[in-house]
Amino acid sequence: DGGITQSPKYLFRKEGQNVTLSCEQNLNHDAMYWYRQDPGQGLRLIYYSQIVNDFQKGDIAEGYSVSREKKESFPLTVTSAQKNPTAFYLCASSAGVRSSPLHFGNGTRLTVT
């Protein structure tokens, strides 16, 4: 059953701690994306990667870091430098060609107190 797996579904951290969100896909997609969604709002792009070992900043990359060592995996680290880390984080992948849709995981809800 192909898809995108984000884990965990809920994550709680204390302020000042770094936390890494997992995203794995078995769709053989080249491109992967991380979005942040705040309540009642749309999706904002954090980082994206079109190929292994390469990634680009999105609109709100500050306080976040990513790696793309394997095609299937695109973990996101929320660092202590991110001022408002509590949000719903969505990972997505696409075939990478221009006219291909993104396929999303079911998200990780991060709460930092």
User: Least distance (Å) from another protein to the CB of residue 16?
Assistant: 27
Residue 13 or 44 having the CB closest to another protein:
44
E-strand stretches of the chain: 4-7, 10-13, 19-25, 31-37, 43-51, 54-57, 64-66, 76-78, 87-94, 103-104, 108-112
The reply to whether 83 sits near another protein by the rule CB under 8 A is: no
The reply to whether 86 sits near another protein by the rule CB under 8 A is: no
- Rounded to whole angstroms, the Cα distance separating 49 from 51 reads 6
User: Least distance (Å) from another protein to the CB of residue 51?
Assistant: 12
- Rounded to whole angstroms, the Cα distance separating 57 from 66 reads 9
The reply to whether 11 sits near another protein by the rule CB under 8 A is: no
Applying CB under 8 A, among 22, 50, 77, 79 the residue interacting with another protein is 50
Map the footprint of another protein across residues 54-73, applying CB under 8 A: 56, 58-59
